[in-house]
Chains A and B, each alone.
Chain A
Amino acid sequence: MEKREVILSTRSLGKYFYDPIKFKVLDNISFNAYKGEFLTLVGKSGSGKSTLLYCLSTMDTSYEGELFIGQERVTGKKVNELAALRNRSIGFIFQFHYLLPEFSCLKNVMIPALKLGKYSYKEVEERAYSKLDVLGIRDQALKPAAKLSGGQQQRVAIARALINDPAIIMCDEPTGNLDSRNTRIVFDIFKQIAHEFGQTIIAVTHDNDFAEASDRTIELADGKIISHDKNFDTYL
């Protein structure tokens, strides 16, 4: 198999929590994520998945080791640079959809793009409509975000994560709150994003079927990577 482009990588990432007692929540985490890969992080509750994801997301900067996004060393950058980097290159989807309730779905999707300022307002609006279209909720665009069902809200959140065409999309239990039908929809969308649009997805999940069907699964236990699964070797 040909060598694929590395989008994100960590070198011996480690992190401590000091409260209530000092303990190592992440220990020597080193892995690569590749372009167009649908990657899942699994592990028992408390194994450090969310903590790792927050470090990868650049929102948590208190770790040791190094983080690279694209070719860039992210570790040690200033908070404002990191904010701009997130805006440009990382999309987020959370378990709780976290839309801004007083804005319409459309506006929620548009906000990161308006912040980016690369396109005019009109263009951003068009792009937002087309993302909502991809997710099958174009007809909900002008409704207030709070008036949608859980599954619909999650899809708006996905559209928002996609609006700036980020290289990486990170999700913490994106289907944790969804029924099996909506989980299926989200899963299909992720597959499409990764395989058709070539964006990398890093998703924390408890759902075994979900992980099973992804391209690759990394399993954590007590803050350490205990297994790169079946497909791991094909990437080396």
Chain B
Amino acid sequence: MRHNINSDIALTHIITRKRQTLVAALGVTLGVGVYLFMNSLTSGFSSFSRDEMFKNSAHIKIYKDDELSQPLVPSAGSGHITVIVNPQVTTLSKKIINPEQLLSTIKQQPFVVNAISQVSFDAFYNRGKAQISGDCSGVNILDYDAMFKTSKYIVGGSLNRLQGNLNGIIIGSGIAEKLNLGIDDNITVTSSYNVVKVMKIVGIFTTGSSLTDNAKSYMNISTAQQFIKEGPSYVSNIFINIPDPNKSEEYAASLQQLTPYKVEDWKTTNADVLASGKTRDVLMSSIAMSILVVAAFGIYNILSSTIAQKINDIAILKATGFAGRDVIRIFLMEALIMGLIGTLIGLIIGAVLIEIMSNIYMGGPVGYFPIRFEPALFAKSFGLGVFITLCAGYFPARKAARVDPVEIFRK
């Protein structure tokens, strides 16, 4: 291997100036460590809250939206606009017509991972005089489980017992507790259409979210249709899962081509939650980023002072035949070494912080703090740490490359 004199010189500078190297590296360590940690925090939390969302809502849902009354006669020619003063919602029913066919068309789309239909209605759970209001979903429970992993939350009974059991119901643990009911007990369910049925509890679930646990129940589709006095062709929602939830807008758009009903992706449904999440992410990233930038200034400073002190050496090197680009390489290499040392230690520190954080129990539905080792974030922090030190090193290095040896020797 040919000896590289540039890296030789850079290494010697680094080694003979251990203290400065360490100070510069520690700046980067701090920056990279905090960057990695904070991004892991936000990323862990985002994916946690997204998982929470996907517990009950699919990537994309199709439903019949309310429509406003439209003029029967279109505006005749320009200059005239036909308007309805005080238009009304004209939706008579929320029903999707011919849902079977729509569902099978959707399932034929190559990108659709899973699609199910659901009949939902507002329900009242009664036992004696006690009453709880909530909502009930009529679903094919096994298909539903495939999409929402409901079986994970079952604490009593089983999903299978609902299959084909038109009288069965699975309720949230909050309902069970309040009404003091257990598996195989009877529960009276009333709908707003005044249909009353006594159902048998075949399963109880706990998701950890009291909102769900205190209100939600599942039954078969046909039973739900009876509760709202509708026939077997009535469906209130179609839920669709896609391979990559991040691209839900595109998939929603192409599904919208297939149906006149409203196709809504989860981002639209959860826009408010996502927006506040995004605000939090941006906030955290900018704090982490500014710490990195400060670290970069450390490198810039130390390299600048190295160069100021070594200006005679630089002049000598240039006099003996080192070109400007060699000088740039020497000092960039120094920045890179400082940056690499700092970045690697920073990654270790970040990892330790993540490990500690992931062992902190938050309680409630969250459990342990939702933070994980994400290789992509490690790679990103590494890349950013190195990139930022190279940028910080480039400017002093370029200044060094422009040193005019004649000017130095005249002094």
Chain A residues in contact with chain B, CB under 8 A? 50, 54, 57, 59-60, 79-80, 83-88, 92, 94, 98-103, 111-112, 114-117, 120-121, 124, 160, 172
Contact = CB atoms under 8 A, between A and B. Distances in A.
A62 to B, nearest CB: 10
Q: Which of A83, A85, A101 has its CB near the most chain B CB atoms (within 10 A)?
A: A83
A160 B320 contact: yes
Nearest to A78: B323
Nearest to B312: A98
A53 B316 CA distance: 15
Contact of A92 (B8, B16, B319, B410): B319
Nearest to B12: A102
Contacts of A115: 5, 320-322, 326
A79 B322 CA distance: 10
Interface in B285-316: 312-313, 315-316
B152 interface: no
Given A79-B324, A114-B5, A116-B321, A103 B409 contact: no
Q: Chain B: interface residue count, which band?
A: 20 to 34
B318 to A, nearest CB: 7
A115 B2 CA distance: 11
B12 A103 contact: yes
B15 to A, nearest CB: 8
B405 interface: yes
Given A54-B409, A94-B409, A102-B16, A112 B321 contact: yes
Q: Which of B13, B319, B324 has its CB near the most chain A CB atoms (within 10 A)?
A: B319
A99 B13 CA distance: 14
Nearest to B405: A59
B258 interface: no
A98 B316 CA distance: 7
Interface of B: 2-3, 5, 8-9, 12-13, 16, 312-313, 315-326, 404-406, 409-410
A172 B409 contact: yes
A103 B13 CA distance: 9
A160 B317 CA distance: 11
A111 B5 contact: yes
Contacts of B13: 102
Nearest to B3: A121
Nearest to A60: B406
A117 B320 contact: no
B5 to A, nearest CB: 4
Given A83-B324, A111-B5, 18 more contacts: A50-B409, A54-B409, A57-B319, A79-B323, A87-B320, A87-B322, A94-B409, A98-B312, A100-B313, A100-B317, A111-B320, A112-B320, A114-B5, A114-B8, A115-B326, A116-B321, A121-B3, A124-B3
A86 B316 contact: no
B327 to A, nearest CB: 10
Nearest to B5: A114
B406 A54 contact: yes
Contacts of A54: 406, 409
A59 B319 CA distance: 7
Contact of A83 (B9, B316, B321): B321
Nearest to A92: B319
Contacts of B322: 83, 87, 115
29 contacts: A50-B410, A57-B319, A59-B318, A59-B404, A60-B406, A79-B323, A79-B324, A80-B325, A83-B318, A83-B324, A83-B326, A84-B321, A84-B323, A85-B321, A86-B319, A86-B321, A87-B322, A88-B321, A112-B320, A112-B321, A114-B5, A114-B8, A115-B5, A115-B320, A115-B321, A116-B321, A120-B3, A124-B3, A172-B409
A102 B310 CA distance: 11
A87 to B, nearest CB: 2
Nearest to A108: B316
B3 A86 contact: no
Contacts of A102: 12-13, 16
Nearest to B17: A102
